[in-house]
Structure 1
Amino acid sequence: MRASGPFKYASMSRRAALTAAALAAMVAVAGCSGGASGGAAAEGDMAKGAPEGAKVTVVEYASVTCGVCAAWQAQVWPEFKAKYVDTNKVRYVFREFPTSPQPVAVAGFLMARCAGPDKYFPVIEEIMASQPELLGGAPPRQVLLRIANGAGLSEEQFAACVTDEEAIKAMDTRIKAALDAGVTGTPNFFINGEKVSDPSMAGLSEKIDAILAAS
């Protein structure tokens, strides 16, 4: 999905733009599909549910600008969360992997992290839910700023978030780790390090329930 017109961020640093350009060259984003990777804990992981070391860890590599990711978030996540995450049966780990248009995705992820751990997931969900507007012609900065304001960030704080050199460097490190592991697109799901070919609720449950039932 692409929005009409250029994506220009008055408050986005050249470094962030370079990050996006590098990703554009490295990441295959033809409809959100990709490679294979493990799921060991990594610095910067955002997680919910069971603590680290849980019997089952589900890792999702996703982008706030990926339509398939947004569809999974809307259609599968509520049931998955209720059955496995809220009950602490599963540790769910979300890993950021910006896809086209990368400048928008990078800015969205940076802003979500600035909102704080307690608001990170709600912000991610709000950005994904706003994809029709965000990628449909509305000024991306305007949409993201509105979401940032809703999360308690001022315009000045938003501007600082998307120009934070240390935060951008940390995101670079996380993305490179994913690329090194073979991830080439989104969404990608892994259960205890094994790639999942069917991320539907039925497909995930089949594998998760078998592991939980094993002694």
Structure 2
Amino acid sequence: MKLRSAYLASALAAATVIAAPASAQQSDRVTLSSMGGHVMGNPLAKHKLTEYMSYTCNHCAAFEAESHQQLKTNFINKNHVSFEIRNLILNPIDLTAAMLARCGGRTRFFGNHHALLAQQSTWLKKFQSVSPEAMATMNDGTVPERLRKIARASGLDELMKGRGYTAPQIDACLSDKVEQDKILAMTKHATVTLKLTGTPSFTLGGKPLAKVHSWGALQPKLAVLPQ
């Protein structure tokens, strides 16, 4: 999906890496990178894979569905690849979903991330069916107020309630300026520093992988990495 974000902004001091407790599988480990992205697997792994993604990108949803188990089993749990998710925000509903994905801290992130992408077609379709009159009000109010309107109109709030979050918790997540700044800083890094123009895009060891935007294109590159 091509970039068309109106939400780019500069922000974010480096976030502290938070170590996860040891677990039986490396894919159960979740830490935060210095940029605030969520890292699955050994944060000291030899090969660091990063996805820059959008929650409104159908190719990102396809990548998640196709790679979810294979990436964990064949690469992350073998301890030589870590996998980080960073945001490349394309539009206001994408920002809303990204804020909700971060609800509940690092241990809840990948579950939220997977659920949002698995149900993407449902909540996007609901948002796209909003009346023109209601859509005209989406840009009224503060940023948190706008995000709450989008969450209600799309059913993202109900999705999160189904995952055990209360309405006050959802509102608090959508109002969290610190988390918003992290998301926008990741987007700025992707577009300004790395010059990425679409989602999903990937870096390996911090270097963009040219013409790799799907699991089918990424998997062969991971398969030849030394363990």
Q: Normalized against structure 2, the TM-score is what? A: 0.68
- Whether 1:145 aligns to 2:157 is yes
**Residue-by-residue CA offset, 1:138-188 (whole Å, 9 max, x unaligned):** 565242112222333211111121122222223222221222221222100
Could you tell me the percent identity over the aligned residues?
27
Gaps of 5+ in 2: 9-32, 131-149
Verify the 8 A CA contact 2:60 2:200 in the aligned structure 1: yes
**2:177 corresponds to 1:165:** yes
Whether the 8 Å CA contact 2:99–2:174 is kept in 1: the answer is yes
Query: What is the SS of the residue equivalent to 1:174?
Result: helix
| Equivalent runs, 1:119-138 vs 2, <5 Å | 119-138=108-127
Give the unaligned 5+ runs of structure 1.
2-19, 24-40
* Counterpart position of 2:96: 107
Alignment correspondent of 2:144? none
Q: Does structure 1 residue 116 correspond to structure 2 residue 116?
A: no
- In structure 2, the partner of 1:184 is 197
Distance change in 2, residues 1:110/1:211 (3 Å): same
Deviation (angstroms), 1:200:
4.7
Aligned to 1:88: 79
Q: What is the CA deviation profile of residues 34-72 of structure 1, one whole-angstrom value per residue up to 9, with x for unaligned ones?
A: xxxxxxx642020101223x2111110001111000011
Contact 1:49–1:84 under 8 Å retained in 2: no
CA distance in 2, matches of 1:97, 1:164: 18
Residue pair 1:49, 1:92 contacting (<8 A) in 2 also = yes
The range that moved more, 137-146 or 127-136, is: 137-146
Matching of residues 189-204 of structure 1 within 5 Å: 189-196=202-209, 197-201=211-215, 203-204=217-218
Note closer, same or farther for the CA distance 1:193–1:115 as it changes in structure 2 (3 Å cut).
Answer: same
| TM-score, structure 1 as length reference | 0.72
User: Secondary structure of the residue that 1:92 maps to in structure 2?
Assistant: strand
Equivalent residues of 1:191, 1:208 under 8 A apart: no
Judged with a 3 Å threshold, the aligned counterparts in structure 2 of structure 1 residues 212 and 205 are, in CA distance, closer, same or farther, namely: farther
Where 1:80 maps in the other structure, the secondary structure is: helix
What residue is the counterpart of 2:6 in the other structure?
A: 21
Classify 1:204/1:174 alpha carbon distance in 2 versus 1 (closer, same or farther; 3 Å): closer
Given that residues 66 and 215 in structure 2 are in contact (C-alpha distance below 8 angstroms), is that contact kept between their aligned partners in structure 1? no
Partner SS for 1:212 = coil
Task: Measure, in 2, the Cα distance between the counterparts of 1:201 and 1:184.
Answer: 18
Structure scoring higher RCO (CA < 8 A, sep ≥ 6) equals: 1
Give yes or no for the alignment of 1:76 onto 2:74: no
Summarize the Cα distance change of 1:97–1:201 in structure 2 as closer, same or farther, 3 Å threshold. closer
Aligned residue in 1 for 2:220: 206
